[in-house]
């Protein structure tokens, strides 16, 4: 009976609170549950996101956020940034500062709102600007409250809501997402990672969709954990039909998302006649389609460069091809589109391909058609193998996609609309380091080595810059560091790029090490596995492990080291051979002593993939065993 | 502020605006559009064969023009660059900033790219549409453009003018950049009623350095003027090196400082000509002098801070602690306060000047002989006693004159920074005590060193594992950096620190002492294990006596050095490791004890090992007894550090009894 009464009171209380405005809620710090303060520097008390879709062409976004700042490290979270551009306008920006007890201290002042342009060194021009807002205040703990509205015509973009995503030291008391849709426009949404399902209600003829989460405590970071959006509750929303800057679109299927790209690109591929004839002459002597594409790609690389310019239609529309032809630069959209236009003049069809680029980034949600991309490449279908072109690089080998874009879904804008396909993956053989060393070791611990190494795939990406920069000093510094050669003297450095489909860099040089090791009295200590001076064991992070483990790349290392030993009386210790495997990969090291010559062969392969949290200890042990094997030393009695 | 406008010239007719070129006596060595074909053909420049681009010519003039509203400066810049590699493409994009809304404007932007196509020169001009203007905020507008169709081998050039109402300011000119500059030239023609002082610096000789009498036509009349003409030939690229203050200290450049304004018929104005003038000027500012004076708010605070004991230093630390705990530093280094005292104490957040001037005011009220000391932080470059220039300073700390007539420096920005120590960023040669009539220069020599001392006991077990018990002691600047780590996240941060510094140790427990007492060392005692700490083969055991506890990496990777090494502070690094050998083994061989020194003995390294029965004592000591090394001393310095690295490859050999 008691229970029911209490419930009734609670219900009444709820009813009473709802109609009241935010000001009457007391933001007392006492109101934060203890578990939300653990390891937190700031607490989001409430974060209310409201999107009102007025019609296909206009949105209103409303934000109300209240945040308690607990200490110095939390200060940055009290700093609000709101971006906007030509299609959006920020209004009714207000703020209130409260003390620890929740008493209102003052309102936000005009001079605390700064309006800042978004041009940076890497960004030539951007019509995005942002408002930067903060109270200059640090009497901890205290609470800030902000409200603002954005009238927005960027109607291709609804809300992507992952409360707690941004920070590892901010907890969330409550966060809500509400989207209000007109009667004739249903909302498209995707609920993820066990978010509480939507609640629908009516506001007149409009349908209101509401999601809410409460009490998200801080979760300490764990190495190799998947991104928050792979594990934290959240919702993606997107329009079906919309109209942006005069362009009508429909995102209800991937086919239609691709059609929207086609619409934005339509009629923009005309090239100046001199460029057309130049290209046609260029490929005239080529017989195979692939050779023609290669010629065109080389033309692109010679004649253009990448410059980030975010302008127009919410940053979605490329420059006209003629503009790139004239200026010789563009962003990823412009350069890919320009290449497509060039290929068309020689009768080769290609597809503008939107992709979510990044070296260690989660793939798009393939079952939720929407603008989930941040980059554009070009896909050239061939009878045999499809050719993929990264058009923003002046140096990228023809047809090579690095781990910036490899092994993930991309949306091709084909003449019949969007088609989702996958870019090729890189295997452990593709991502390989192989090193051959011939070394002469002196009795004084000095060594002369001839090194011949090959860096392929993602390792190529790491070192190819040395060739392009062609700076002796930088090359030397970089080689000393990556080969762990201390302050050795390097000579006869030769770098050679192999621009194959999986490209590689061949690096050869001689190294003169004053001290590879140091004789201790009558002995010489040698660690033959010379390239592994740092152990690669991942740090264990907080325990017990709770998150899955995600390894992004397949990689392999192959080393052969031959050491000509100085004259010695006896080998006091020789490392033993080691070989083992696990679900993460395989490792093998072998030693052969032939007279005064020691041969080491080392092979290591690591697989990518998603593993369970419980597998993490095994991964650490795997690396520990490798580290131990690499530390093994040989002792010579001189 | 435009000083000339105060003159009120009687303008009966609309002023003639003279052509800029007509006023400058000399001609540019390059003409826009006139690019010699050899510049397009050259592929490598002997000055630097690995350069990604080369500035062929960098030419600028500054002169004055008359407007009814007052005199304006007109800065004209013309740059021509050879692009050699793709990594040099960034040089085809240029950004310049205008200030103060309409106070400055940019005009006459022109640009072009030249390249060889089939032996002929192809020219692509910069279009107006490719010039982007962006108001960064209220005070600054960015003007950015990028040249079209840039390729390897292209030559690009651009020119623009900036017209400015800031008639007492002449832009600083840099003769040197991160790529080589074959020719850089600056012409300035200023009427003599502006009196400028010139400051040049750098390691490059001037090909031209002249100052001549000239004249300028302003509003139809001729005025006496001075022409300054400087040029540097073949300036190499300038690059950052570790352990320097800032590359700006070594870049060849010229700065102009306004000294006085003496108009023909008007009232003269004297700008800070002497240090005493600068002292007075600063003391007159609301954002400086006013904040350094005690006021009501300070008088309210002081009763709680009265010296109850007799120890002056302890009392100063108490006051310092009060300010550090009352107001949080917002991370901005400044010489000027950003807020009134009332607002500062309300918001509890301020820049470095807010905090340190409050400290000065409190100390004054407590009857100390306290004054602000202005300085330039390491990344802001050095100050020059012969250059009375306010903008060369960017920071203020508090100075207290002690009974021994020495100034003791205090800084409230870093919690745990005790009286007599200033943060590392402040360790930049010298600073000036700002006081009315009694201002003076003092050396900013840190009272403290960077001291790390550890004493460790290692028990090696028969299976090759080891138990480690150690006391790590951090003093001076080492303590400051550790306290900073510890202050925020406490044990959690420290645990991460230990994991990172000593990856091979499994730390079972650790304990911190002295974390909040300034006068004590910051100490960590650790209890740890190392599995397979030694190598056992047959009847022998091989031991690396440092057990991964000593950082021996030589920080100087480059073979040669152009600029001095500036450590900021002196350093002591001492490790004593007592190793208890497992039963049943005897020492068969021990590494030799040795010493290494620089010729002036200012870097001193000792490596010692003693065996005594079942124990081996290992000592590794490195003392750096001066904080500044000339480039000529670099090789000796590097050699000692190399030696440290090599010594620690040595091993102890034990044999079964």
Domain boundaries, chain B: 52-270, 275-443, 450-656
Neighbour tally for A84: CB within 10 Å:
18
Where do runs of H (alpha helix) occur along A414-549? 458-469, 472-482
A406 and A535 inside one domain: no
Which residue shows structure tokens 């080595």? A449
The rounded distance, in Å, linking the Cα atoms of A125 and A156 is 22
DSSP bridge partners of A421: A410
Sign of CA dihedral B335, B339, B340, B343: negative
Closest Cβ opposite residue B144 in set A124, A465, A628:
A124
pLDDT tier at A17, thresholds 50, 70, 90: very low
Residues of chain A with Cβ-Cβ distance to B146 below 8 Å are 124, 307, 329
CA distance A541 to B538: 37
Q: Please tell me which residue of chain B has the smallest CA distance to A142.
A: B347
H or E element, residue B399? strand B395-401
Task: Name every chain B residue with its beta carbon within 8 A of the beta carbon of A327.
Answer: 127, 130, 148-149
What tokens were used for A260?
């929207």
Q: Name which of A124, A136, A537 is nearest B132 (Cβ-Cβ).
A: A124
Looking at residue A598, which CATH number applies to its domain?
A: 2.60.120.1130
Q: Does A572 touch chain B (CB under 8 A)?
A: yes
Name the pLDDT band for A2 (thresholds 50, 70, 90): very low
Contact B348 A137 (CB under 8 A): yes
The Cβ of residue A612 has, within 10 Å, a number of other Cβ atoms equal to 11
Query: Distance (Å, rounded) from C-alpha A305 to C-alpha A307?
Result: 7
Closest Cβ–Cβ partner in A329, A473, A523 for B653? A523
Is A68 part of a structural domain of the chain?
Answer: yes
Percentage of chain A modeled with pLDDT above 90: 72
d(CA A334, CA A328): 10
**Taking residues A189-200, what's their average pLDDT?**
96
Q: Name residue, tokens 């800065």.
A: B75
Residues of chain B with pLDDT under 50: 1, 4-24
**Kindly report the CA angle at A501 between A498 and A507, in degrees rounded to 5?**
25
Q: What confidence category does residue A85 fall into, taking pLDDT thresholds of 50, 70 and 90?
A: confident
- A382 and A467: one domain? no
Rounded to a whole number, what is the distance in Å from the CA of B347 to chain A's nearest CA?
Answer: 4
CB A59 within 8 A of CB A152: yes
C-alpha B580: how far from chain center: 47
pLDDT-based confidence at A25, cuts 50/70/90?
A: low
A383 and A494 assigned to the same domain? no
In this structure, the dihedral spanned by the alpha carbons of residues B346, B352, B357 and B363, taken in order and rounded to 10 degrees, is: 90
Residues A417 and A444 in one domain: no
Backbone angles phi, psi at A256, to 5 degrees: -80, -30
Q: Which two tokens stand for residue A262?
A: 């086609």
Enumerate the residues of chain A whose CB falls inside 8 A of the CB of residue B538. Answer: 572-573
Residue of A nearest to B639 (CA): A487
Separation of CA B350 from chain center: 22
Q: Which residue of B49, B503, B652 is in closest CB contact with A535?
A: B503
Q: Distance between CA atoms of B159 and B139, rounded to whole angstroms?
A: 24
- Closest by CA to B516, choosing from B317, B329, B328, is B317
pLDDT of residue B91: 94
Q: Which of B530, B536, B650 to mutate to test the interface with A (most CBs of A within 10 A)?
A: B650
Contact A313, A289 (CB under 8 A): no
**Cα end-to-end span (Å), chain B:** 88
Closest Cα in chain B, distance from residue A546 (Å) = 19
The rounded distance, in Å, linking the Cα atoms of A436 and A596 is: 18
Q: Cα(first)–Cα(last) distance of chain A, in Å?
A: 92
For residues A158 and A80, membership in a common domain is answered with yes
Looking only at Cα atoms, what is the longest distance across chain A?
Answer: 96
Q: What are phi and psi of B46, to 5 degrees?
A: -65, -25
Q: Which of residues 479-538 of A touch B (CB under 8 A)?
A: 480-481, 486-487, 514-515, 517-518, 520-523, 525, 535, 537
Residue closest to B503 by CA, chosen among A536, A485, A622, A545: A536
Q: Is the pLDDT of residue A449 over 50?
A: yes
How many structural domains does chain A have?
3
Q: Are strands B181-191 and B53-67 parallel, antiparallel or unpaired?
A: parallel
Distances in Å between the alpha carbon of A285 and those of A279, A293, A297, B625? 11, 13, 16, 72
Q: What pLDDT, in 10s, does the model give residues A339-389? A: 999 999 999 999 999 999 998 888 999 999 999 999 999 999 998 889 999
CA distance A545 to A543: 5
Does residue A137 belong to the interface with chain B, where contact is any CB pair within 8 Å?
Answer: yes
Which chain A residues are closer than 8 Å to B150 by Cβ? 305, 328-329
Q: Do A233 and A274 lie in a common domain? A: no
| Structure confidence at residue A611 (pLDDT) | 94
For the segment B400-420, what is each residue's pLDDT rounded down to a tens digit? 999 999 999 999 998 778 888
Can B275-443 and B450-656 be said to share one CATH topology?
Answer: no
Are A395 and A275 in the same domain? yes
Which of these, A131, A109, A23, lies nearest to B347 by C-alpha position?
Answer: A109
Q: Say which residue, A123 or B398, is predicted with more confidence.
A: B398
- Mean predicted lDDT score pLDDT of chain A: 90
pLDDT at position B101: 80
Please state whether beta strands B395-401 and B370-375 pair in parallel, antiparallel, or not at all (unpaired).
antiparallel
Check whether residue A226 and residue A292 sit in a common domain.
Answer: no
Does the distance separating the beta carbons of B642 and A514 come in below 8 Å? yes
The mean pLDDT of chain B is: 89
Average pLDDT over residues A153-180: 91
Task: Tell me the C-alpha distance between A213 and A216, whole Å.
Answer: 8
Is there a contact between B503 and A572 if contact means CB atoms under 8 Å apart?
no
Q: Which of B103, B95, B163, B168 lies closest to B134 in space, CA to CA?
A: B95
CA distance A578 to A589: 5
Cis check for the bond before A141: say yes or no (omega within 30 of 0): yes
Residue with tokens 């090729």: A424
Q: Which residues contact B564 (CB under 8 A, 6 or more apart)?
A: B244, B628, B629, B630, B631
Structure-token pair, residue B216? 């300028």
CATH code for the domain in which residue A390 is found: 3.10.620.30
Which H or E element spans position B455?
strand B450-460
Q: How far apart are CA B117 and CA B135, in angstroms?
A: 38
Q: A468 contacts in B (CB within 8 Å)?
A: 85-87
Domain region containing A302: 253-422
Q: Does residue A382 lie within any of the structural domains? A: yes
Residue A24 has pLDDT above 60, yes or no: no
Tokens at residue B171, please? 């832009």
Report the pLDDT value the prediction gives residue B20, as an integer from 0 to 100. Answer: 37
User: Does the beta carbon of A284 lie under 8 angstroms from any beta carbon of chain B?
Assistant: no
Question: Is A635 near chain B, with CB under 8 Å?
Answer: yes
Contact B16, B218 (CB under 8 A): no
pLDDT of residue A126: 63
Whole-number pLDDT of residue A157: 93
Under CATH, which number does the domain B275-443 receive? 3.10.620.30
Geometric angle at alpha carbon B388, from B382 and B392, rounded to 5°: 35
For residue A582, pLDDT beyond 80:
yes
> What is the model's pLDDT at position A214?
94
Residue A542 CA to residue A8 CA, distance in Å, equals 43
Given phi > 0 = left and psi -120 to 50 = alpha, else beta, which region is A523?
Answer: beta
Residue pair A559/A531 in contact (Cβ under 8 Å)? The answer is yes
CATH architecture of B52-270: Sandwich (2.60)
Q: Are residues A584 and A469 in the same domain?
A: yes
A308 and A174 within one domain:
no
Yes or no, beta carbons of A125 and B144 under 8 Å apart: yes
Phi/psi region, residue A538 (left: phi>0; alpha: psi -120 to 50; beta: rest), is beta
- Residues A509 and A630 reside in one and the same domain: yes
Which residues in chain A have Cβ-Cβ distances shorter than 8 Å to B499?
A: 539
The predicted pLDDT at position B23 comes to 44
- Measured CA to CA, the distance from residue A309 to residue A127 in angstroms comes to 9
Rounded CA separation A463/A456 (Å): 9
Residue A83 in any domain: the answer is: yes
Distance, in Å, from the CA atom of A291 to the CA atom of A302, rounded to the nearest integer, reads 16
Rg (CA), chain B: 31
Domain contains A18? no
Residue A150 pLDDT > 90, yes or no? yes
- Check if A349 contacts B (Cβ < 8 Å): no
pLDDT for residue A8 is more than 60: no
* Pairing, β B594-597 against β B93-99: unpaired
Q: Do B537 and A573 touch (CB under 8 A)?
A: yes
Fold of B450-656: Jelly Rolls (2.60.120)
Q: What pLDDT is attached to residue A4?
A: 39
Task: Say if A332 falls within a structural domain.
Answer: yes
State the pTM of this model: 0.83
Q: Are residues A414 and A293 in the same domain?
A: yes
* Per-residue three-class SS string for B499-512: HHHCCCCEEEEEEE
For residue A537, pLDDT beyond 90: no
Q: What is the DSSP letter of A574?
A: -
Under the banding of pLDDT at 50, 70 and 90, the label for residue A19 is: very low
Instruction: Give the model's pLDDT for residue A128.
Output: 73
Q: Report which of B100, B105, B145 is spatially closest to residue B125, judged by C-alpha positions.
A: B145
Query: Mean pLDDT across the stretch A584-596?
Result: 95
């Amino acid at each position: 009976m008691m229970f029911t009464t209490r419930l009734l009171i609670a219900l009444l209380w709820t009813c009473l609170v709802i109609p009241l405005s935010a000001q009457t809620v007391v933001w007392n710090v006492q109101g934060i549950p203890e578990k939300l303060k653990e390891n937190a520097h700031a607490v989001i008390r409430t974060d209310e996101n409201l999107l009102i879709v007025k019609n296909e062409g206009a949105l209103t976004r409303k934000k109300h956020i209240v945040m308690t700042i607990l200490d110095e490290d939390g200060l940055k979270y009290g700093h609000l940034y709101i971006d906007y551009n030509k299609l959006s306008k920020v209004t009714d920006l207000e703020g209130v500062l409260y003390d620890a007890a929740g008493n209102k201290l003052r309102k936000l002042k005009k001079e605390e709102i700064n309006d800042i342009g978004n041009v940076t060194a890497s960004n030539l021009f951007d019509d995005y600007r942002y408002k930067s807002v903060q109270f200059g205040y640090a009497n901890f703990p205290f609470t800030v409250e902000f409200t603002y509205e954005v009238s927005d015509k960027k109607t291709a973009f609804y809300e992507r809501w992952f409360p707690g995503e941004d920070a590892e030291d901010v907890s969330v008391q409550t966060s809500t997402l509400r989207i209000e849709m007109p009667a004739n426009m249903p909302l498209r949404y995707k609920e993820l990672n066990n978010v509480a399902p939507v609640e629908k209600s009516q506001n007149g003829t409009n349908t209101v969709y509401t999601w809410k989460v409460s009490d998200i405590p801080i979760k300490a970071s764990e190495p190799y954990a998947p991104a928050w959006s792979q594990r934290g509750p959240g919702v993606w929303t997107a329009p079906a039909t919309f109209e942006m800057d005069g362009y009508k679109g429909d995102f209800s299927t991937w086919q239609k998302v691709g059609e929207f790209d086609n619409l934005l690109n339509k009629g923009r591929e005309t090239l100046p006649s001199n460029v057309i004839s130049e290209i046609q002459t260029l490929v005239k002597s080529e017989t195979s389609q692939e050779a023609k594409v290669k010629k065109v790609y080389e033309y692109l690389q010679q004649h253009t460069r990448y410059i980030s310019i975010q302008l127009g239609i919410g940053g979605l529309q490329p420059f006209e091809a003629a503009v790139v032809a004239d200026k010789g630069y563009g962003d990823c959209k412009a350069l890919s589109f320009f290449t497509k236009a060039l290929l068309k003049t020689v009768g080769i069809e290609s597809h503008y391909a939107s992709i979510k680029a990044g070296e260690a980034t989660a793939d798009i949600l393939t079952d939720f058609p929407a603008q989930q991309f941040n980059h554009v490449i070009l896909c050239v279908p061939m009878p045999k193998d499809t050719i993929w072109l990264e058009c923003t690089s002046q140096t990228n080998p023809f047809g090579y996609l690095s781990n910036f874009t490899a092994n993930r879904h991309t949306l091709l804008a084909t003449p019949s609309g969007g088609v989702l396909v996958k870019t090729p993956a890189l295997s452990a053989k593709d991502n390989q380091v192989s090193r051959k060393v011939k070394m002469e070791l002196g009795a004084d611990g000095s060594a002369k080595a001839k090194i011949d190494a090959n860096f392929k795939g993602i390792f190529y990406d790491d070192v190819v810059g040395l060739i392009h920069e062609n700076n002796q000093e930088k090359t030397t510094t970089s080689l000393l560091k990556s080969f762990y050669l201390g302050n050795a003297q390097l000579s006869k450095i030769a770098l050679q790029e192999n621009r194959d489909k999986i490209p590689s860099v061949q690096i050869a040089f001689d190294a003169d090490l004053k001290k590879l090791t140091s004789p201790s009295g009558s002995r010489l200590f040698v660690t033959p596995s010379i390239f592994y001076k740092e152990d690669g064991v991942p740090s264990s992070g907080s325990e017990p492990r709770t998150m899955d483990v995600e390894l992004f790349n397949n990689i392999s290392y192959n080393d052969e080291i031959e050491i000509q030993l100085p004259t010695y009386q006896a080998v006091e210790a020789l490392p033993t051979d080691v070989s083992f495997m696990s679900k993460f990969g395989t490792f093998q090291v072998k030693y052969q002593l032939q007279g005064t010559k020691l041969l080491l062969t080392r092979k290591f392969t690591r697989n990518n993939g998603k593993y369970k949290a419980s597998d993490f200890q095994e991964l650490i042990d795997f690396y520990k065993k490798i580290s131990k094997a690499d530390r093994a030393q040989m002792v010579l009695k001189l | 502020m435009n000083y000339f406008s105060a003159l009120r010239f009687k303008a009966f007719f609309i002023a003639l605006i003279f052509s800029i070129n007509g006023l400058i006596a000399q001609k540019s060595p390059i003409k826009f559009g006139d690019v010699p074909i050899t510049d397009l053909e050259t592929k490598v420049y002997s000055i630097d064969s690995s350069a990604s681009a080369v500035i062929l010519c960098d030419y600028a003039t500054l002169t004055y023009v008359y407007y009814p509203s007052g005199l304006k400066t007109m800065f004209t810049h013309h740059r021509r660059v050879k692009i050699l590699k793709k990594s040099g493409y960034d040089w085809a994009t240029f950004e310049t900033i205008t200030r103060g809304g309409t106070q400055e404007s940019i005009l006459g932007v022109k640009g072009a790219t030249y390249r060889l196509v089939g032996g002929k020169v192809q020219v692509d001009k910069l279009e107006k549409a490719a010039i982007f203007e962006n108001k960064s905020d209220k005070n600054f507008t960015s003007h950015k453009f990028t040249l079209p169709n840039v390729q390897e081998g292209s030559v690009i050039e651009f020119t623009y003018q900036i017209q400015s109402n800031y008639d007492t300011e002449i832009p600083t000119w840099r003769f040197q950049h991160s790529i080589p500059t074959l020719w850089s030239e600056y012409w300035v023609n200023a009427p003599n009623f502006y009196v400028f002082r010139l400051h040049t610096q750098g390691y490059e000789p001037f090909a031209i350095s002249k100052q001549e009498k000239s004249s300028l036509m302003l509003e139809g009349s001729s005025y006496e003027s001075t022409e300054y003409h400087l040029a540097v030939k073949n300036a190499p690229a300038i690059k950052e090196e570790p352990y320097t203050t800032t590359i700006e200290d070594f870049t060849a450049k010229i700065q102009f400082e306004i000294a006085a304004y003496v108009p023909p018929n008007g009232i003269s104005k004297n700008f800070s000509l002497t240090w005493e003038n600068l002292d007075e000027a600063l003391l007159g500012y609301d954002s400086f002098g006013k904040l350094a004076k005690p006021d009501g708010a300070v008088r309210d605070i002081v009763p709680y801070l009265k010296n109850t004991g007799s120890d002056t230093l302890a009392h100063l630390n108490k006051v310092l602690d009060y300010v550090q705990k009352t107001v949080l530093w917002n991370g901005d280094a400044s010489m000027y306060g950003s807020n009134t005292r009332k607002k500062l104490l309300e918001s509890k957040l301020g820049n470095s000047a807010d905090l340190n001037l409050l400290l000065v005011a409190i100390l004054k009220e407590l009857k100390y002989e306290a004054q602000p000391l202005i300085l330039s932080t390491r990344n802001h470059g050095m100050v020059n006693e012969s250059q009375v220039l306010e903008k060369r300073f960017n920071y203020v700390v508090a100075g207290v004159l002690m009974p021994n007539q020495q100034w003791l420096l205090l800084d409230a920005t870093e919690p745990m920074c005790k009286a007599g120590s200033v943060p590392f960023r402040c360790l930049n040669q010298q600073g000036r005590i700002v006081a009315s009539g009694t201002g003076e220069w003092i050396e900013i020599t840190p009272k403290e060193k960077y001291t790390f001392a550890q004493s460790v006991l290692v028990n090696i077990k028969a299976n090759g594992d080891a138990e480690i018990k150690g006391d790590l002691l951090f003093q001076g600047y080492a303590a400051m950096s550790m306290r900073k780590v510890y202050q925020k996240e406490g044990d959690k941060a420290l645990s991460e620190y230990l994991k990172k510094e000593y990856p091979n140790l499994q730390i079972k427990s650790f304990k911190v002492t002295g974390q909040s007492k300034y006068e004590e060392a910051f100490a960590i005692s650790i209890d740890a294990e190392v599995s397979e700490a030694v190598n056992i083969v047959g009847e022998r055991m091989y031991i690396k006596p440092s057990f991964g506890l000593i950082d021996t990496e030589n920080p100087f990777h480059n073979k040669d050095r152009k600029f001095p090494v500036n450590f900021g502070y002196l350093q002591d690094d001492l490790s004593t490791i007592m190793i208890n050998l497992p039963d049943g083994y005897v020492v068969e061989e021990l590494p030799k004890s040795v010493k290494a020194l620089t010729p002036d003995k200012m870097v001193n390294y000792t490596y010692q090992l003693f065996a005594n029965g079942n124990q081996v004592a290992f000592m590794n000591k490195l003392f750096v007894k001066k904080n500044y090394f000339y480039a000529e001393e670099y090789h000796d310095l590097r050699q000692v550090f190399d030696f440290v690295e090599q010594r620690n490859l040595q091993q102890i050999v034990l044999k079964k009894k």
